[in-house]
């Protein structure tokens, strides 16, 4: 194992300046923003959640008395236990450290986890019964259905099926399902992208599966005999993607995006100029095509009619419909496809007004946001309902360049918030190993960074030796980016390549370097950990929940 890690450090010397991998929530709750129709939620580094915007249906989660508010404030009832968030339409949901799922807002048609009719609202989070071991949750863009991923990569779905098969139920009329059930065949998923009626999952090897709507052959990666038939859970044409996302307007199946070798790919419904980067004029892109003038990408954020692209330097670019200000370039002019529309401009365009490189970007149907390395948040787009968090609630108002908002006094959301080593407090099962299951990490280093000698390893408790599991390493770079063992970039559905998978040894010496020059990685920290599980994904989440990881090397 030490030889593999030594090779990783050498590769890191080459990749550190070029890779800008999305942080994996392996060491703490990683701050990120999710956006509904007219509300936003922010997951803070301490596991708390801040909300703002319109909350007529309870989607702010702050109680009925404070259901709509343009001023950001904490959702007190969630405490500091949240690890993942989602929002869609007037619905919000969260995953806590214990693997439970909580929902609030418009929870009609079974979203609360029980068969209910329309007009069901919850103004504070309530737990969805029948789910455990969940690591992420994603709402359909219309807020009518929810999709949870467990630690084995199995997708669970519930809510409203509009007849397109989006719950994995197959052909049939509109129906609801109040009980979360696994979608047959949707297994091994590390990232999910959804619209209102169509879902695509990415597996660790970059292959894709899909189900839901295929109206107008919106999913050209799968040939079907009838364009109106729902897609079953079927393997799609593998394209080796490292990242996926999707955008749609209303209940449309939408346009999908992927990243492959730093290049942006797009496929699906391009009607109404939903991407408009100048490559496609046909209503449906029959095969994935490369978006020109974009390279070295690490993230794509897709919303209703627009998409944002982040490159390795943290610069943000945009394509799509500009009338809502989502392009962030100071105008409301859309980018064009081919020569249509005549008053449009060529894309992609550079988002203006950001103070420097971003950590991540996020977009919805009417608003967009950027999270900076220092933890500050910038928003732009429509002002309806106070969704931008700037105190403005004017209907149809536009802010066309990013503007910083005030939030979270006393909460540190910077890229390296300082609580990385103990994200979950002191209680077993929330980030700290239970008594008798603590691993013993060993580390020693000497010499300057340009001539470093170091050793590191871990000794497992006797009860864990011989059990199936995996050992993980990751390098936390000085700017807060997390470099994985295989150089992969991941979104908020974490995926991490294992250093070792199989029966766990009594001890594992993972690092042994002598006289290596690591000066270009100054400020970085090497983390080591292990988890129990029948595969690497299950072991990863068991490690995160149990807190069996440690910083074993400080390059300072």
Q: Which residue has the higher pLDDT, 24 or 547?
A: 547
Task: Assess contact for 146 and 163: CB atoms under 8 A.
Answer: no
Q: Which H/E stretch holds residue 541?
A: helix 536-546
pLDDT digits 0-9 by tens, 54-65: 999 999 999 988
Residue 324: the pLDDT is 92
What integer is the mean pLDDT of 391-399?
A: 92
Residue 515: asked if its preceding bond is cis (omega within 30°), the reply is no
Task: Assess contact for 190 and 535: CB atoms under 8 A.
Answer: no
Residue 492: the pLDDT is 34
Q: Is 371's pLDDT higher than 70?
A: yes
Q: Is 273's pLDDT higher than 50?
A: no
Domains recognised in the chain with CATH numbers: 2-21+424-554 (2.60.40), 32-404 (2.130.10.30)
Q: Is 115's pLDDT higher than 80?
A: no
Name the pLDDT band for 426 (thresholds 50, 70, 90). Answer: very low
pTM > 0.75: yes or no: no
Instruction: Please state, in angstroms and rounded to a whole number, the distance separating the CA atoms of residues 4 and 510.
Output: 8
Residue 378, number of CB atoms within 10 A of its CB:
23
Instruction: Please state, in angstroms and rounded to a whole number, the distance separating the CA atoms of residues 363 and 269.
Output: 19
Residue 275: the pLDDT is 52
Tokens describing residue 256: 């999908």
Average pLDDT of every residue of the chain:
77
Q: What percent of the chain has pLDDT over 70?
A: 73
508 has which bridge partners? 458
Q: Which residue has the higher pLDDT, 474 or 235?
A: 474
Q: Is 250's pLDDT higher than 60?
A: no
pLDDT digits 0-9 by tens, 492-524: 334 567 788 888 988 888 787 888 777 777 878
Tokens describing residue 355: 């103070």
Tokens describing residue 412: 């540190």
Task: Assess contact for 81 and 98: CB atoms under 8 A.
Answer: yes
3-class SS letters over 22-80: CCCCCCCCCCEEEECCCEEEEECCCCCEEEEECCCCCCCCCCHHHCCEEEEEECHHHCC
Instruction: Please state, in angstroms and rounded to a whole number, the distance separating the CA atoms of residues 111 and 114.
Output: 7
pLDDT digits 0-9 by tens, 128-156: 999 988 888 999 988 999 999 887 788 99
Distances 122 to 93, 262, 386 between C-alpha atoms, Å? 11, 41, 20
Tokens describing residue 370: 């950027």
Q: Is 91's pLDDT higher than 80?
A: yes
Residue 52: the pLDDT is 96
Radius of gyration of the chain (CA): 23
Residue 555: the pLDDT is 82
Residue 218: the pLDDT is 47
What integer is the mean pLDDT of 66-76?
A: 90
- The residue among 142, 249, 153, 161 whose CA lies nearest residue 204 is 153
Residue 388: the pLDDT is 96
Q: Is 287's pLDDT higher than 80?
A: no
Tokens describing residue 143: 């807020």
Instruction: Please state, in angstroms and rounded to a whole number, the distance separating the CA atoms of residues 556 and 554.
Output: 6
Q: Given the DSSP bridges, would you call strands 49-53 and 39-43 parallel, antiparallel or unpaired?
A: antiparallel
Residue 187: the pLDDT is 86
């Amino acid at each position: 194992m030490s030889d593999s890690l030594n090779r990783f450090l050498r590769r890191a010397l080459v990749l550190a300046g070029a890779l800008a991998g999305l942080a994996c929530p392996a060491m703490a709750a990683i701050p990120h923003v999710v956006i509904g129709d007219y509300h936003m939620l922010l997951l803070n580094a301490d596991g708390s959640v801040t909300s703002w915007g319109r909350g007529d249906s309870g989607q702010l989660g702050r109680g009925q008395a404070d259901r709509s508010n343009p001023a950001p404030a904490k959702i007190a009832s969630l405490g500091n236990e949240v690890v993942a968030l989602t929002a869609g339409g007037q619905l919000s949901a969260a995953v806590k450290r214990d693997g439970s799922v909580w929902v609030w807002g418009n929870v009609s048609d079974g979203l609360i986890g029980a068969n209910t009719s329309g007009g069901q609202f919850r103004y504070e989070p309530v737990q969805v019964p029948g789910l455990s071991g969940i690591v992420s949750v994603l709402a359909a863009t219309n807020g009518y259905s929810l999709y949870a991923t467990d630690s084995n990569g199995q997708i669970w779905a519930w809510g409203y099926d509009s007849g397109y098969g989006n719950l994995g139920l197959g052909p049939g009329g509109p129906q609801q399902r109040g009980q979360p059930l696994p979608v047959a065949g949707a297994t091994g998923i590390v990232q999910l992208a959804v619209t209102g009626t169509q879902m695509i999952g990415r597996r660790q090897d970059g292959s894709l599966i899909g189900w839901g709507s295929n109206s107008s052959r919106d999913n050209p990666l799968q040939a079907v005999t009838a364009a109106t038939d729902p897609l079953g859970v079927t393997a799609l044409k593998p394209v080796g993607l490292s990242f996926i996302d999707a955008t749609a307007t209303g209940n449309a199946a939408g346009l999908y995006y992927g990243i492959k070798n730093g290049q942006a790919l797009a496929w699906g419904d391009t009607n109404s100029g939903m991407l408009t980067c100048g490559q496609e004029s046909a209503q449906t892109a029959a095969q994935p095509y490369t978006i020109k003038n974009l390279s070295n990408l690490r993230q794509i954020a897709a919303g209703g009619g627009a998409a944002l692209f982040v490159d390795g330097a943290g610069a943000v670019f945009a394509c799509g419909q500009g009338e809502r200000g989502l392009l962030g370039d100071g105008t409301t002019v859309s980018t064009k496809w081919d020569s249509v529309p005549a008053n449009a401009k060529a894309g992609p365009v550079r988002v203006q007004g950001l103070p420097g490189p971003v950590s991540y970007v996020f977009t919805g149907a009417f608003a967009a946001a950027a999270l900076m390395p220092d933890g500050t948040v910038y928003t732009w787009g429509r002002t309806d309902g106070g969704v931008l968090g700037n105190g403005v609630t004017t209907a149809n108002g536009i802010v066309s360049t990013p503007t910083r908002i005030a939030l979270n006094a006393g909460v540190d959301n910077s890229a390296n918030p300082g609580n990385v080593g103990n994200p979950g407090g002191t209680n077993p099962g929330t980030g700290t190993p239970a008594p008798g299951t603590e691993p013993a990490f060993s580390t020693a280093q000497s010499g300057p960074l340009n001539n470093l000698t170091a050793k590191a390893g871990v000794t497992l408790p006797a009860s864990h030796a011989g059990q199936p599991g995996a050992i993980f390493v990751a390098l936390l770079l000085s700017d807060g980016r997390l470099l994985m063992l295989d150089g992969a970039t991941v979104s908020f559905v974490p995926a991490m390549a294992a250093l070792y998978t199989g029966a766990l040894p009594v001890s594992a010496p993972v690092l042994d370097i002598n006289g290596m020059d690591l000066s270009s990685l100054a400020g970085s920290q090497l983390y080591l950990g292990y988890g129990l599980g029948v595969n690497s994904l299950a072991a990863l989440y068991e490690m995160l929940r149990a807190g069996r990881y440690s910083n074993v090397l400080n390059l300072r």
